[in-house]
């Protein structure tokens, strides 16, 4: 049961697999177990997003400042994810994956016991330490046990159950907040955490790469300082949360630490975040294009529920039922992702899909309380449908050329970039909302302020389109199965 499965060399696709391109039972089982962790994380994120206005009233805080409850978790992910690959290789992916689920579940309990915004932020940071190991290490297990010709299908198996979190999160969160208390929203992770620990113990292989370089402590301190300082500064500057000089000092410290890390990485034999991985063209496109696209999409969980509750007059439950349409659309796309990539390839899929997704994201800016609910549902459903294909393509493309020995580094690098871009999405969405309020002299967010914020993040998402032109049309054919 715990034998290590070694995939064929890169580019080597067995004839039977190349024709059917189906996933084996073992690949599906591994993907579904890892998906339990993704389900728990995504459920947690969407549940808390729906409850933020209620939590703000309970703590006596401004609703537009509550994004710190989201970004503090994402920030913890960004700081600790780079170490996940090395730790998994050193101590075994199975053990670290299981420990991460335990830490995440305990963090959920602590969130529910918080009595102030400060306590909630601290609990979210602790929870993020578990999430930093849970998701990337789980993905590393999948990458090291699944052959490359099964990668797209395995990613679809991985993502489909995980997308149930965003589907169920908004209505569950709204129902709990409306009928019980906001503290109860964090208890939904407990049974999933217990189930995840049991499944990992019984079925997950303890994959690891033997040997390896010593841990890059200096790189960890420099990268952690850079990421934490930059995210803190960008999150607080101009928003009257902390003094302006403190925010700008943090930004300066982050930039300085980032430059020092770049200098350190060029001289270290095995840096924690290895920029030489960007020499692989498909990895570069997934990192650069995926980051811009994810910044735009990352603002939705913060902006949309708040807009529906503060300007449409919806309850938490009603806004949750509307918000879940995006995730339902994403769930509907997953079975078609493999066929779409096989039909037109990675590059053309990313080009066309980016344009469609960005337009649908910008369409949210024109929502008004007078819109028929069915049209709002249709727009959100279509947006989630196309965004899901984009993320599936980026996630499979990122590892298409990476050698097995560098999978750990690539997973940590890519997961860090994912979390930083998601954090920036929330921060930019909140900053756009605050700036338009200040310029208009408004004391509470108006519908026009939300519209501006959605247009800003949609434009950023659209900027990812030309990045896909950096790779040829037949890029990663051994992964997509595209015949050209």
Summarised one tens digit per residue, pLDDT across range 30-42 is: 777 787 777 777 7
Distances (CA, A) of 427 to 210, 295, 300, 338: 40, 9, 11, 33
- The CATH superfamily of 23-215+272-480 is MFS general substrate transporter like domains (1.20.1250.20)
Rounded mean pLDDT, 460-484: 85
Give yes or no for residue 365 having a pLDDT over 90: yes
Selection from 335, 344, 348 nearest residue 482 by Cα: 344
Compute the distance between CA of residue 198 and CA of residue 86 in angstroms, rounded to an integer.
24
Q: For the chain, first and last CA: distance in Å?
A: 39
Summarised one tens digit per residue, pLDDT across range 110-148 is: 988 888 888 888 898 899 888 888 877 877 777 777 776
Give yes or no for residue 467 having a pLDDT over 90: yes
Compute the distance between CA of residue 66 and CA of residue 44 in angstroms, rounded to an integer.
15
Q: Report domain extents, the chain.
A: 23-215+272-480, 216-271
Give yes or no for residue 319 having a pLDDT over 70: yes
The mean pLDDT value of the chain amounts to 80
- Per-residue pLDDT at 6: 37
Are 402 and 410 spatial neighbours (Cβ–Cβ below 8 Å)?
yes
Compute the distance between CA of residue 255 and CA of residue 232 in angstroms, rounded to an integer.
12
pTM of the model: 0.72
Give yes or no for residue 71 having a pLDDT over 80: no
- Per-residue pLDDT at 313: 86
Q: What are the tokens at 164?
A: 């149930």
- Per-residue pLDDT at 418: 81
Q: How many residues does the chain have?
A: 484
Q: How confident is the model at residue 387 (pLDDT cuts 50, 70, 90)?
A: confident
Rounded mean pLDDT, 337-365: 89
The tally of CA atoms less than 13 A away on the side-chain side of residue 130 is 24
The position carrying tokens 């053990």 is: 95
Q: For residue 12, count other CB atoms closer than 10 A to its CB.
A: 12
Residues in Cβ contact with 330 at an 8 Å cutoff, skipping those fewer than 6 apart: 163, 166, 167, 384, 385, 387, 388
DSSP 391: H
144/218: higher pLDDT = 218
Compute the distance between CA of residue 27 and CA of residue 150 in angstroms, rounded to an integer.
8
Q: What are the tokens at 215?
A: 């841990």
Rounded mean pLDDT, 237-241: 61
Summarised one tens digit per residue, pLDDT across range 145-200 is: 777 666 666 666 666 555 566 566 667 777 887 778 788 888 878 888 888 888 88
Q: What are the tokens at 313?
A: 């007059």
Summarised one tens digit per residue, pLDDT across range 400-415 is: 888 877 877 788 788 8
Q: How confident is the model at residue 345 (pLDDT cuts 50, 70, 90)?
A: confident
Give yes or no for residue 70 having a pLDDT over 80: no
Summarised one tens digit per residue, pLDDT across range 240-294 is: 666 778 888 988 998 999 999 999 988 888 888 888 899 999 999 999 999 999 8
The position carrying tokens 């591994």 is: 30
Residues 319, 415, 393, 300, Cα dihedral to 10°: 20
């Amino acid at each position: 049961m715990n034998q290590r499965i070694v995939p064929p060399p890169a580019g080597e696709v067995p004839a039977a697999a190349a024709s059917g391109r189906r996933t084996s039972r073992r690949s599906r089982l591994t993907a579904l177990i890892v998906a339990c962790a993704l389900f728990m994380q995504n459920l947690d994120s969407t549940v808390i997003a729906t409850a933020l206005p209620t939590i703000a009233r309970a703590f006596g805080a401004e609703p537009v400042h509550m994004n710190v409850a989201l970004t503090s978790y994402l920030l913890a992910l960004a700081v600790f994810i780079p170490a996940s690959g090395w730790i998994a290789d050193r101590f075994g992916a199975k053990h670290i994956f299981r420990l991460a689920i335990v830490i995440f579940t305990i963090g959920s309990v602590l969130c529910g016991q918080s009595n102030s915004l400060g306590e909630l932020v601290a609990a979210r940071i602790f929870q993020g330490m578990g999430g930093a190991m849970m998701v990337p290490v789980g993905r590393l297990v999948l990458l090291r046990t699944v052959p490359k010709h099964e990668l797209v299908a395995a990613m679809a198996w991985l993502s489909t159950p995980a997308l149930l979190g965003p589907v169920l999160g908004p209505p569950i969160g709204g129902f709990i907040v409306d009928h019980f208390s906001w503290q109860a929203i964090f208890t939904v992770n407990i049974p999933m955490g217990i189930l995840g620990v049991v499944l990992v113990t019984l079925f997950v292989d303890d994959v690891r790469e033997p040997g390896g370089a010593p841990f890059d402590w200096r790189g960890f301190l420099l990268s952690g300082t850079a990421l934490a300082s930059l995210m803190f500064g960008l999150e607080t500057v101009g928003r009257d949360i902390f003094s302006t000089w403190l925010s700008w000092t943090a930004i300066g410290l982050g930039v300085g630490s980032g430059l020092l890390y770049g200098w350190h990485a060029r001289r270290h034999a095995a840096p924690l975040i290895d920029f030489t991985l960007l020499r692989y063209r498909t990895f570069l496109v997934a990192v650069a294009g995926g980051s811009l696209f994810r910044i735009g999409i990352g603002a939705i969980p913060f902006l949309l529920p708040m807009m529906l509750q503060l300007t449409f007059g919806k309850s938490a439950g009603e806004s949750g039922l509307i918000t879940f349409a995006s995730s339902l659309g994403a769930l509907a796309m997953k079975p078609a992702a493999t066929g779409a990539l096989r039909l037109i390839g990675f590059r053309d899929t990313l080009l066309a899909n980016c344009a469609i997704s960005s337009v649908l994201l910008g369409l949210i800016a024109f929502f008004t309380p007078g819109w028929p609910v069915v049209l709002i549902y249709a727009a959100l459903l279509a947006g989630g449908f196309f965004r899901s294909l984009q993320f599936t393509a980026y996630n499979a493309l990122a590892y298409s050329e990476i050698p097995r020995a560098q999978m750990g580094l690539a997973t940590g690098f890519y997961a860090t970039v994912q979390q930083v871009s998601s954090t920036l999405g929330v921060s930019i969405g909140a900053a756009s909302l605050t700036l338009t309020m200040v310029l208009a002299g408004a004391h509470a967010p108006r519908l026009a302020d939300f519209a501006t914020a959605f247009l800003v993040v949609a434009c950023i998402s659209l900027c990812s389109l030309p990045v896909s032109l950096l790779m040829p049309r037949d890029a990663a054919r051994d992964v997509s199965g595209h015949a050209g």
